[in-house]
Chain A
Amino acid sequence: MGNKLLFGRVFKYGDSIDTDVIIPARYCTSFHAEELAPHALEDLDATFASRVQQGDIVVAGHNFGCGSSRENAPIAIKGAGASCVIARSFARIFYRNSINIGLPILIAPEAVDGIEDGDEVEVDPATGVIENKTRGGKWTADAFPPEIRNIMDNGGLVGYVKRRLAGMNT
């Protein structure tokens, strides 16, 4: 997922933020980031899409991304400019989809406790280190299992499959 440091202002939300509020189905006749992004989180926070700046960070409670399998959800969040999502826990399809499309997601319950809406936070996706620049505090997110790291280091699942396909053709 790249080694660039991520830095941005935090948009903090609660538990069980579902994919229907992340991107309502009425917009899912498109799967392109530029069409989805203006509606990201619209039914939860109608001001998100207009306020979010490139690099900003979404922080949430338990079970982020529960509900539908729509990949439009991480695409909308990433497309709106958010650089990563930090949560206490993620729903599993959202977790898979985020890894597959290259939206960094970090599981870090203590960090969620120590970060408030509007704080400025720096994240190192390579090490999982999260630092609250506004009120102090430093945490390390759960490490990804080596197999998932391997997928991410190879450009996501698509990169992995491309290499497999190339192998099949030779």
Chain B
Amino acid sequence: MNLAEKILAIHAGRDTVKPGDMVMAKLDMILGTDVTVPLSVEVFRNMGAEKVFDPNKMALVNDHFVPAKDVKAATLSLTMREFARDMKVPAYFEVGRSGICHSILPDNGLVRPGDLVVGADSHTCTYGALGAFSTGIGSTDMACAWAIGELWFRVPESTKVIVEGEFTPMVGPKDLILYIINKLGVEGARYQAIEFCGCAIEDMSMDGRITVCNMAIEAGAKTGLITPDRITRDFIENIYANPTPYTPKRGRDIGGEYGLYLESDCDAQYSQVLEVDLKDVEPQVSIPYLPSNTKPVGEVSDVAIHQVVIGSCTNGRIEDFRAAAKILGDKPVHPDVRLIMIPATPQITEALIEEGLATQFLRAGAIISPPTCGPCIGGHMGILAKGEVGLFTTNRNFRGRNGHPESQVYLAGPEVAAATALTGRISDPREL
């Protein structure tokens, strides 16, 4: 079996599973956010459920429309807050202690290798970075999962992506995943698990792995996974050595405190294999309106940009801001550009301050937003007007996602984003 199959088999209480099998599987963690929880609460109450199966296996995160952008958003958060209180959920993240869910969960030790995680958010696939099987579900699914702690899954086929070589200068994990999605296509891995492996993945930091697994869904995948290894162990052990108030006090049922370190068997089956050599990966830009429409930056470099956003669950981690800072140097943001920085968590904001990046960004003329999804989902904190063009480090550029239906967003990594903020046009960071 491969990694995805092993995790599903263990949680379904079976010795083996194969693609196409339908299994009921036990869940280790169920994630909900302000935008998806309220509907689940209604479904949960309507089905007559009174108690959640285990409040320790849930996380409720304020991130999408917070700090509340309007009365309706405030009401969504209120519903979630009251539910968290009623159900005594320890991992309820209130504004000020909260941030983008897909950074909050890993950083608080709420996801471990080998876990089976679901989240009412499509980018729940991110936690494959830690060697968990994690996938997005809807609000009805989540209500049912809260009630019984299990859900049905179809065991997916797996796509193997082998990445060898070393990053060339100014190229990072975001460029890699944009390149991979372009090769696979927007539904090239639909219903599948993508297993990322190869030397380049083994050498990659946890921040980089998070960027890569985050966008597996953009190729239609159910999840993206990386075999947990020394880097995973260091990341997890560091959290348990320095727990936050939300870090679970004791190990969960399967895998004890530190999780299960599983790997694919040598004879594991894959429905397709893609080999990538990093020497072929240049800085990438994805063109509206599909994330898979990617091109090397050189082919789109005369597009004028009004707003640059660096943030989101894809690229809102400290390494992303360090990469941007390197390119910004002491230069100012182009007069026609608004540069919005959105650290994914309060801890990342703190690191920006400690490392002097916050001052550097402010002096360059950028604005630093509180941790939120904000403009990534067209919520607030930087919506685009009709005809405006943005370059975001987020993960989707569908029509109207980030503002007016006639606005456009190009996707790129923090290096291209920073270079673009300086010049006002989509720019190759290698040419500055």
Chain A residues engaging chain B, CB cutoff 8 angstroms:
16, 18, 20-21, 24-26, 28-31, 42-44, 62-63, 66-72, 89, 91-93, 96-97, 100-101, 145, 147-148, 151, 156-158, 160-162, 164-165
Q: How far is the CB of B48 from chain A (nearest CB, A)?
A: 7
Q: How far is the CB of A148 from chain B (nearest CB, A)?
A: 8
Contact A157 B144 (CB under 8 A): yes
Closest to B146 in A: A161
Q: How far is the CB of A142 from chain B (nearest CB, A)?
A: 13
Residues of A close to B36: CB separation below 8 A: 69-71
Q: How far is the CB of A73 from chain B (nearest CB, A)?
A: 9
Interface-located stretch among B161-169, B253-261, B399-407: B399-407
Q: Out of B143, B290, B378, name the residue touching A26 (CB < 8 Å).
A: B378
Q: How far is the CB of A18 from chain B (nearest CB, A)?
A: 4
- A sample of 15 more A-B contacts (CB under 8 A), given A24-B401, A92-B190, is A16-B290, A20-B398, A21-B398, A25-B35, A25-B401, A29-B76, A44-B399, A63-B190, A67-B398, A69-B122, A71-B36, A71-B120, A93-B122, A93-B138, A158-B46
A126 to B122, CA, bound (A): 30
Question: Does B323 sit at the interface, judged by CB under 8 A?
Answer: no
A101 to B140, CA, bound (A): 7
Contact A96 B187 (CB under 8 A): no
Interface-located stretch among B106-114, B147-155, B332-340: B147-155
A161 to B36, CA, bound (A): 19
Question: Does B81 sit at the interface, judged by CB under 8 A?
Answer: no
Question: Does B231 sit at the interface, judged by CB under 8 A?
Answer: no
Chain B residues engaging chain A, CB cutoff 8 angstroms:
22, 35-36, 38-39, 42-43, 46-49, 64-65, 70, 72-73, 75-76, 119-122, 124, 136-141, 143-144, 147-148, 152, 154, 186-187, 190-191, 220, 222, 290, 377-379, 396, 398-401, 405
**With A20-B399, A29-B76, A43-B400 in contact, is A165–B137 under 8 Å at CB?**
no
By CB atoms of chain A within 10 A, which of B122, B140, B290, B378 has the most?
Answer: B140
Residues of A close to B222: CB separation below 8 A: 92
A70 to B39, CA, bound (A): 10
A62 to B191, CA, bound (A): 13
A97 to B38, CA, bound (A): 16
Q: How far is the CB of B393 from chain A (nearest CB, A)?
A: 18
A63 to B290, CA, bound (A): 12
Q: Out of B121, B148, B186, B378, name the residue touching A63 (CB < 8 Å).
A: B186
**With A16-B290, A63-B187, A165-B147 in contact, is A31–B38 under 8 Å at CB?**
yes
Q: Out of A66, A100, A145, A164, name the residue touching B141 (CB < 8 Å).
A: A100
Residues of A close to B70: CB separation below 8 A: 29
Residues of A close to B122: CB separation below 8 A: 67-69, 93
Closest to B120 in A: A69
A157 to B43, CA, bound (A): 11
Residues of A close to B124: CB separation below 8 A: 69
Q: Out of A67, A89, A100, name the residue touching B138 (CB < 8 Å).
A: A100
By CB atoms of chain A within 10 A, which of B137, B138, B398 has the most?
Answer: B138
Contact A69 B143 (CB under 8 A): no
